[in-house]
Structure 1
Amino acid sequence: MFVDGYNIIGDWPELKARREDDLESARDILIEKMAEYQAYTGIQVSIIFDAHMVPGLGKNFNDYRLEIIYTKEKETADERIEKLVKEHKRVDTQIYVATSDFLEQRVIFASGALRKSARELRREMESIEKGIAQEVEKTKNYSNKAKLPITGEIAEIFEKWRRGKS
């Protein structure tokens, strides 16, 4: 799934409000939520952020096992997403693009990808967060039957590994 980062930030109320004061924080929250989405669904997620108004070279990096892409100068997220859809489209792969940009939705649909609106993604994320909370509660109530008890510190290290943080 390719996520148009600033489009989602501009649509989700909690991120939109934060964007006004601290855009970096809004990006970080979206990245964390998409990491949870990827971990819960098993769907590979790439987040693309526009840099067309910012001078310099684009960059890619991985955080939480997500691919995070900042476009090159004078390149929009829509243009990069269209390229990525064409590069990754295969018969055995279903590609989703998360954006509420109507024109972009039509272009990617014509390229063979499916669209997911920001609203749909938000609802799905809310459902995932509820599922995670239920699993955490179940785990808390489950008695530890491991033969080798582990400390909270070790459990925290394992959790970081699970989330892709070193």
Structure 2
Amino acid sequence: MAKRKAKQLLIVDGYNIIGAWPDLRALKDQDRMDEARDQLIAKMAEYQSFTGMKVIVVFDAYNVPGAGRQQEEYQVEVFFTKKKETADEKIEQLVWEYHEKNRQIYVATSDYTSQRVIFGQGALRKSARELLHDMESAGREIKQQVEKTRDERFSKRIPLSDEIAKIFEKWRRE
């Protein structure tokens, strides 16, 4: 019996990535953390749609009372850790849970301690820089596909002389 192909999963250490990506770090430095979080989530939703890889984003709410919730309104899964729980602990828990479900797991973080633990659990690391590069490549590929589709759509039209186009336009308006 053939072994089922493992589904891919990307778990993102949210604040680690925000601190590593220049555009998101700039928002954080301007005390616009909510905006940085929203942009990261939106980018990860695009990445998930383009790659077909399930994405989970984890934000550390270690010192935030009332946290520990999962956001349902996003296109990707988003977790805010519980009070006194770190993002690293939540990521380790998710890696353990999903490892049992025949998944190839990648964890996007540049945190060295987290990297060592996730390697031990069979997950692969994707640095913040690698993920940013993947996002930029996906964006370029999407743009090329859109342009190609647009060009193909317009090239399938029957070429008309200006005189014939004016006649058709006149008929259309009557």
TM range (shorter): 0.7 to 0.9
* Corresponding residue of 2:19: 10
In the alignment, the residues of structure 2 paired with residue 34 and residue 101 of structure 1 have an alpha-carbon distance, to the nearest angstrom, of: 19
Q: Structure 1 segments of 4 or more deviating over 6 A?
A: none
Q: Which amino acid aligns with 2:84?
A: K
Q: Which amino acid aligns with 1:133?
A: K
Once structures 1 and 2 are overlaid, which stretch shifts more, 84-93 or 71-80?
A: 84-93
TM-score (norm 2): 0.79
Aligned-pair RMSD on alpha carbons? 1.5
- Cα deviation for residue 67 of structure 1 reads 0.2
Unaligned runs of 5+ in 2: 1-9, 157-174
Alignment CA distance shift 1:91-1:62 (3 Å): closer
**Is residue 119 of structure 1 aligned with residue 124 of structure 2?**
no
Q: Determine what percentage of the aligned residue pairs are the same residue.
A: 56
**Is residue 52 of structure 1 aligned with residue 53 of structure 2?**
no
In the alignment, the residues of structure 2 paired with residue 46 and residue 57 of structure 1 have an alpha-carbon distance, to the nearest angstrom, of: 17
In the alignment, the residues of structure 2 paired with residue 110 and residue 4 of structure 1 have an alpha-carbon distance, to the nearest angstrom, of: 17
Q: Which amino acid aligns with 2:140?
A: K
In the alignment, the residues of structure 1 paired with residue 114 and residue 88 of structure 2 have an alpha-carbon distance, to the nearest angstrom, of: 7
- Cα deviation for residue 64 of structure 1 reads 4.2
- Cα deviation for residue 98 of structure 1 reads 0.4
In the alignment, the residues of structure 1 paired with residue 101 and residue 42 of structure 2 have an alpha-carbon distance, to the nearest angstrom, of: 30
In the alignment, the residues of structure 2 paired with residue 64 and residue 138 of structure 1 have an alpha-carbon distance, to the nearest angstrom, of: 30
Once structures 1 and 2 are overlaid, which stretch shifts more, 71-80 or 136-145?
A: 136-145
TM-score (norm 1): 0.83
* Corresponding residue of 1:98: 108
* Corresponding residue of 2:72: 62
Aligned length: 145
In the alignment, the residues of structure 2 paired with residue 63 and residue 31 of structure 1 have an alpha-carbon distance, to the nearest angstrom, of: 11
Once structures 1 and 2 are overlaid, which stretch shifts more, 50-59 or 6-15?
A: 50-59
> Match for 2:146 among 103, 120, 136?
136
Unaligned runs of 5+ in 1: 146-166
Q: Larger radius of gyration, structure 1 or 2? A: 2
Q: What secondary structure sits across from 1:121 in the alignment?
A: helix
